[in-house]
A and B are shown apart, each in its own frame.
Chain A
Amino acid sequence: GAVVSQHPSWVICKSGTSVKIECRSLDFQATTMFWYRQFPKQSLMLMATSNEGSKATYEQGVEKDKFLINHASLTLSTLTVTSAHPEDSSFYICSAKDRRKTQYFGPGTRLLVL
């Protein structure tokens, strides 16, 4: 199947700093990428839909200014958690949609804010 990578896989940062997470589709072009958040033993919560060349669409309750999304190319979307706080600690997963409109997921990024 298609391959999606995320970087970094693990990040620890101080409260108040910003963290950027990259999501790349390695062997296909993805006009649409998705960002999810997952708490322990819970399902995936869609945060936003990232469309190449346009503004991201955020789900209700997700702060746009807090979670900045940029989808500058057909293979790369970035999520920046600005002024991170301990409550932002979570597992962030991206996915990319291929031509058959199937989602392929990245391996996730564990964020710990101290």
Chain B
Amino acid sequence: AQTVTQSQPEMSVQEAETVTLSCTYDTSESDYYLFWYKQPPSRQMILVIRQEAYKQQNATENRFSVNFQKAAKSFSLKISDSQLGDAAMYFCAYRSTGNQFYFGTGTSLTVIP
């Protein structure tokens, strides 16, 4: 079974600085999708970024980018120019070829003014 591991329960970053959240996963599949979701205090899950495993190019969405290392099964999220509104729980997720989603345990990000 696929597993998703987020080894950083909590992270903090100074406003305007850059922070990287780690995620590793275990799978025997070659074709899959990876996602980062954000869950602010409202608890609404918000899609931050997605990456198709067959694409070598790392996905970017404005201040958010990923470092996808397929061989290492690593999928980290970089947040540049951190803003107070970025404070939230961040969940890494893996979607299998069978369309099952697996979530990591989350990383709580604090942004320090």
Q: Which of A30-74 contact B (CB under 8 A)?
A: 32, 34, 38, 42-44, 46
Q: CB of A97 within 8 A of chain B?
A: yes
The reply to whether B105 and A46 form a contact with Cβ atoms under 8 Å apart is: no
What separation, in Å, do the CA atoms of A108 and B42 have in the docked complex? 9
Q: Is the interface of B mostly helix, strand, loop or mixed?
A: strand
Residues of B in contact with A, size category: 20 to 34
A91 B43 Cβ-Cβ under 8 A: yes
Query: How far, in Å, is A8 (CB) from chain B's closest CB?
Result: 14
Q: Are B99's CB and A43's CB within 8 A?
A: no
Query: Contact at A46–B47, with CB atoms within 8 Å?
Result: no
Interface size class of A (residues with CB under 8 A): 20 to 34
Which residues 93-111 of A have a CB within 8 angstroms of B?
Answer: 93, 95, 97, 101-108
Q: Would you call A101 and B33 a contact (CB within 8 A)?
A: yes
Pair A102/B50 contact, Cβ less than 8 Å: yes
B101 and A46 within 8 A (CB): yes
Binding site for A on B (CB under 8 A): 33, 35, 37, 42-47, 50, 91, 93, 95, 99-101, 103-106
6 A-B pairs with the lowest CB-CB distances in the bound complex, closest first:
A105-B45, A107-B44, A43-B103, A43-B105, A108-B43, A44-B103
